[in-house]
Chains A and B, each alone.
Chain A
Amino acid sequence: MDERLDLTSLSHFIEKKYVPVHAHSIWYYFGGVSLFFFIIQVLTGILLLFYYKGSADLAFESIQFIMSKVAFGWLIRSIHAWAANLFILSVFIHMFSVFFEKAYRRPRELTWVTGVFLFFMTLTFGFSGYLLPWNKLAFFATKVGTDIAGNVPFVGEIMKGFLRGGDDVTGATLSRFFGFHVALFPGIFTILLVIHILMVQRQGMSEPMELEGTPEETKKSMPFFPNFMLRDLLLWLIVLNVLAILAVFFPADLGEKADPFSSAPAGIKPEWYFLFMFQTLKYIPAKIFIMDGELLGIVLFGLAGLLWVVVPFWDIQSSKGLRNKKINYIGLFAVGFIIILTILGWVS
C-alpha cells in the first residue's frame, strides 16, 4: 500500500505537526467545531432530501410529513435546524478569536480572506435554507432580504431578479433557493473549505503575538496526533450531546404556510444572526440628506463587510509584529454593536 500511495510522507507530516500550547489555546478548537457542524449539516441535509419537495405547493406539506409521519423525521430536521444555528455561532466565535489574536497577520492573509468568505457563505446557507419550509416568516424574510439585494447600487435590480427568479418571491424563488442551498453553495463552500484547511496545514497554527519573540525551547506545544485530535474528538462528542439535547427538547417549529396575499405578521423577525442588521435598518430614517436611508444602510454594511475581508491588508502594524490596539477597539466595537443590536432586536 505504502509503495503505491507513499503514505510514509503523510505519516511524517502528521508526526511533525504540533499545536502550540498557551493561555489562548482554547480558541484553536472552534475551527474544528465549525467543521463538525458542517459535516452534520451535510449528513442531515442529505437525509432530509429523501422526503423534501422543493415547490411552493408541496414544500410546506413535505416538511409537515417529515415532522409527523417519517420515523425520526422530527429529530433529523431539528438537528439540521439547531446545527445550522450552532454552526453560525461557532463560525462567529472562530472568526472573532482569529481577529483578536491577529492570526490573520502575515503570512496568513489569504487564510483569513478564505475564512471570511466561508463565514459569508454560512450566512447565505442560513438565508437560503430558511425559505425552504415555505412558511410565513420565511416568505417575508426572503422578500426583505432579496429587496435589500435589489437596493445595491447599479446591479441591484439584476441581482434581485436573479435571486427571485422573477419580479416577486414565488415558487420560482423557492426552486432557486433550493438549488443554491443543496447544490451550488455546498460545492463552493467545500472548495473554499479545502483551500482554507490546506492553508492552515501548510502554515501551521498561528501563535499569539507575545510568544513570537520567545526562544523555541521555552515554548510549549503538543503533537496534533493523537493529543490534539483526541481533545478535538472529545469536544465534538460534547457538542453532539448538546445538539441532541436541544433537538429533542426544543424541536424545530414549522409555523404557518406562506401566503403571498396576506400581511406580514406582527412580531416578525429574522433569525438571530441577521437581527443586528434588521434592527439597524429599523433605526435608520427614511431619508438622510438626499439619500434613501435603506440605501445608506446597505452601502455602510457592504463597506464594513469589505473592510472586514481585507483586514490583514490595512492592519500592517500587526503583520510587522507591532501591537495595534486600534484593531482591538474596532473588534470590540463590532462585537458590542452586534450583541447590543441583537438584544434590542430580540426584545423589541
Chain B
Amino acid sequence: MSDKIQTRRSFITSILTLGAAGLSASIIYPIIKYLTPPKQREVEVSSVSAGKIKDIENDSFKIVRFGNKPVILIRTDKGDFKALSAQCTHLDCTVQYKKSEGVIWCACHNGKYDLNGRNISGPPPRPLDPYMVKIKGEEVFISKKA
C-alpha cells in the first residue's frame, strides 16, 4: 500500500516538476527572444563620397560614414589619401589622426597605428582594416577592398 502511495506521490511530483519546468520555459524563452535584438539588414554600401579634394587640406583627416561604420580618411602632408576603418581594434573607440606625430591615435587607451593602419604601440592587438580611395574628377571616393 505504502509503495503504491510512494509511486503515486513520485508520479505526481514528476508531473508537477515537468509542468513547472514547462511553465518556466514558456515564460523565459519568449523573454530571452524578445531581449535579443532583431537582425536588421544593413544597407550594403560599396562606395561613398568623402567630399571634394580641395576641402581636405594636406596633413589633416576626416571621419566618413561608410554604411553604419566610421572610416578615417587621411590626407598626408604629401597630399596622398589613405582610408582605414576608424574603429580601434582594442576596444572599439573611434580613432583620429595625430598631426604632431604623424600617426593614427586612439584617445581612449593611447593606441597608435602608422598611416598604413599597422598597430605600432599601445594595446591595439590588430591593424585597422584598409579601404580603397579613388579620385574621380574633383571628388574622393572610399570603397571596400575586394
Footprint of B on A, CB under 8 Å?
Answer: 140, 143-144, 146-148, 161-162, 164-168, 172, 260-268, 278, 281-282, 284-287, 292-294
Cα of A167 to Cα of B122 in the assembled complex, Å:
25
- In the complex, the number of residue pairs spanning A and B with C-beta atoms less than 8 Å apart equals 81
Cα of A278 to Cα of B109 in the assembled complex, Å:
8
Q: Are A294 and B36 in contact, with the CB atoms below 8 A?
A: no
Q: Could you tell me how many residues of chain B have their Cβ less than 8 Å away from some Cβ of chain A?
A: 28
Q: Are A143 and B92 in contact, with the CB atoms below 8 A?
A: yes
A198 CB to nearest chain B CB (Å): 26
Q: Are B95 and A144 in contact, with the CB atoms below 8 A?
A: no
Q: Which of A264, A266, A287 contacts B94 (CB 8 A)?
A: A264
Which secondary structure characterizes the binding site on chain B? loop
Q: Are B90 and A294 in contact, with the CB atoms below 8 A?
A: yes
Chain A residue contacts of B119, Cβ below 8 A: 286
Cα of A246 to Cα of B37 in the assembled complex, Å:
40
B54-68, CB under 8 A of A: which get 1 and which 0?
000000000111001
Q: Are A265 and B122 in contact, with the CB atoms below 8 A?
A: no
With A143-B91, A161-B37 known as contacts, the answer to whether A264 contacts B125 (CB < 8 A) is: no
B123 within 8 A of A: yes
With A282-B109, A294-B125 known as contacts, the answer to whether A262 contacts B94 (CB < 8 A) is: yes
Q: Are B109 and A266 in contact, with the CB atoms below 8 A?
A: no
Q: Name the CB-closest residue of A to B98.
A: A266
Chain B residue contacts of A146, Cβ below 8 A: 92
Q: Are A293 and B123 in contact, with the CB atoms below 8 A?
A: yes
Q: Are A143 and B93 in contact, with the CB atoms below 8 A?
A: yes
B110 within 8 A of A: yes
